Amino acid sequence: MNLPYFISRRISNVQSGSFSSIISRLAVASIGVGLAVMVLSFFILGGFQKVIKDKIYDIKGHIEISKFDMGSAYDEKPITVTQQVLNQVYEYAEIEHVQFFAHKAGMIKTKEEVEGIHFKGVSRNFSANRFQQNMVEGRFVQFDNDEYAREVVLSRMIANRLKLSLDDEAIIYFVQNPPRVRKLKVVGIYETGLEEIDKTTVLGDIGLVQKLNNWPDSLVGGMEVFVKDESMIDYIDNELYENLDSTYYVEMVQKKYSQIFDWLELLDQNVSVFLGLILIVACFNMISIILILIMERTNMVGVLISLGSSNQQIKKVFLLNGMILVFKGILIGNVIAIGFALLQQEFLIVPLDAANYYMYYVPIHWDIKSMVVVNLVTFGVVSTALYLPLSFVSRISPTRALKFD
């Protein structure tokens, strides 16, 4: 029989209502709440980062391929889409999808307002299903057999400023010499929550841009590349940069929106500091609780010493008792975290202000790997901290301990 383990189990199952029972429950509760907060922090932070990244990727792709040009941004230089170029891009198994785009600067004019816009023409192979999560009203542009679809999708921000709604006609003046005017029907309204995109971007048919620029169907403004695994974006970006012709400019979308992505990385550092503080508090709580348990059971320590138990055996009793409390707390913390995450995912019980957080509810991303790491780190760090108060055991005198009450 493992005597320290047997004794630790017995003293951990003390009678309900006793002082030891209350202290043990406080220990379990502190570990449980701390762990639940840490796990939920990773779930929420991961969800927050994923939602914002997806909003950018859905409309911009992971990597953009365009013409290498030092000229004006309003005068987009086209690239020629050939089967050879597509074969070069698709030769990488990590690439999931490639779609074409072309930009055109312009202004939308109504009876009361004028708004500068950035018209983005997309092709038939635009991933509308991926973008669907950003649609709040109406539908996406439907491509037909005409020269181009006379339809546009506006952001909610632009629609509200210009007081446009579904089925209204938007008069767009395109910047060129001479200026060209088109009357297009508003068939959908989207919202990403990202001001950099919603403030100016209008989606329509790439055929309209080709028509205005007198481009044949083989000329486009560029290509958007989607990668199956986000961890491979850097690799694919480097490969395309090295292997495509030097006239092409290959750029990760992450670099175009570097401020947003840098901000998301900064959140990782903030969460790490926050989690470190929680661990420190949990360690101090457990140290205090073990000290209290040792003091309360000083008489038991004296009896064990008088019966021949070594200091190491007695220390092991309280160490195992503390580890049992930590394990119970971790178990309860996981139940709390997973339960809350499930409720939030299904019922969206915690809302957010989209103006400040780019979304209307707290997102959840099931980061199981981080959850396992948090569990292991918490158990390891707090269990290691238990060794600090155990040095008090060796200072207990058997004679005084037996008299202690």
Residue 20 covered by a domain: yes
Q: Note whether 334 and 215 are same-domain residues.
A: no
Residue 50 covered by a domain: yes
Residue 237: which domain range? 69-245
Identify whether the C-beta of residue 221 lies closer than 8 Å to the C-beta of residue 249: no
User: What average pLDDT does the segment 330-358 reach?
Assistant: 90
Identify whether the C-beta of residue 243 lies closer than 8 Å to the C-beta of residue 89: no
Q: What is the pTM of this model?
A: 0.82
Identify whether the C-beta of residue 281 lies closer than 8 Å to the C-beta of residue 289: no
Q: Note whether 92 and 29 are same-domain residues.
A: no
Closest CA to 212 of 69, 103, 64, 124: 103
Tell me the sheet residues that pair with 236. Answer: none
Residue 251 covered by a domain: no
pLDDT at 23: 76
Looking at per-residue pLDDT, the higher value among 335 and 110 belongs to: 335
Indicate whether 154 pLDDT > 90. yes
Q: Note whether 129 and 206 are same-domain residues.
A: yes
Confidence at 272, pLDDT banded by 50, 70, 90: confident
Q: Rounded to whole angstroms, what are the CA distances from 166 to 2, 117, 135, 149?
A: 75, 18, 12, 16
The DSSP letter of residue 217 is T
pLDDT at 339: 95
pLDDT at 199: 92
pLDDT at 9: 65
Residue 61 covered by a domain: no
How many separate helices (H) and strands (E) can be counted in the chain? 16, 12
The token pair that represents 285 in the structure block: 């709580």
The token pair that represents 260 in the structure block: 């947003």
Residue 141 identity (one-letter amino acid): V
Which has the minimum average pLDDT: 149-153, 177-181, 202-206?
A: 177-181
Count of structural domains within the chain: 2
Q: Note whether 90 and 202 are same-domain residues.
A: yes
The owner of tokens 């420190």 is 280
Q: Taking CA 374 as the corner, what is the angle to CA 275 and CA 283, rounded to the nearest 5 degrees?
A: 60
The DSSP letter of residue 351 is B
Q: Note whether 143 and 224 are same-domain residues.
A: yes
Domain boundary among 212, 245, 278: 245
Identify whether the C-beta of residue 345 lies closer than 8 Å to the C-beta of residue 47: no
The token pair that represents 148 in the structure block: 């181009």
pLDDT at 235: 94
Q: How far apart are CA 174 and CA 104, in angstroms?
A: 7
Using DSSP's 3-state secondary structure scheme, residue 94 falls into coil
Q: Note whether 134 and 99 are same-domain residues.
A: yes
Cis peptide before 389 (omega within 30 of 0): no
Q: Note whether 74 and 214 are same-domain residues.
A: yes
Residue 64 covered by a domain: no
Domain boundary among 245, 270, 304: 245
Confidence at 111, pLDDT banded by 50, 70, 90: confident
pLDDT at 240: 92
Q: Note whether 188 and 292 are same-domain residues.
A: no
Q: Taking CA 36 as the corner, what is the angle to CA 32 and CA 40, rounded to the nearest 5 degrees?
A: 175
Q: Note whether 203 and 309 are same-domain residues.
A: no
Residue 269 covered by a domain: yes
The token pair that represents 81 in the structure block: 């889409």
Residue 360 identity (one-letter amino acid): Y
Q: Note whether 14 and 133 are same-domain residues.
A: no
Residue 189 covered by a domain: yes
Range among 236-240, 244-248, 322-326 with highest mean pLDDT value = 236-240
Residue 241 covered by a domain: yes
Q: How far apart are CA 118 and CA 60, in angstroms?
A: 13
Q: Rounded to whole angstroms, what are the CA distances from 312 to 3, 234, 328, 351, 380?
A: 12, 53, 24, 53, 20
Supply the Cα-derived Rg of the chain in whole angstroms.
31
User: What average pLDDT does the segment 38-52 reach?
Assistant: 91
Domain boundary among 211, 245, 279: 245
Confidence at 393, pLDDT banded by 50, 70, 90: low
Q: Note whether 296 and 362 are same-domain residues.
A: yes
Q: Note whether 237 and 102 are same-domain residues.
A: yes
Question: How much is the mean pLDDT over the chain?
Answer: 85
User: What average pLDDT does the segment 349-374 reach?
Assistant: 88
Q: How far apart are CA 142 and CA 152, in angstroms?
A: 10
User: What average pLDDT does the segment 255-262 reach?
Assistant: 88
Identify whether the C-beta of residue 204 lies closer than 8 Å to the C-beta of residue 121: yes
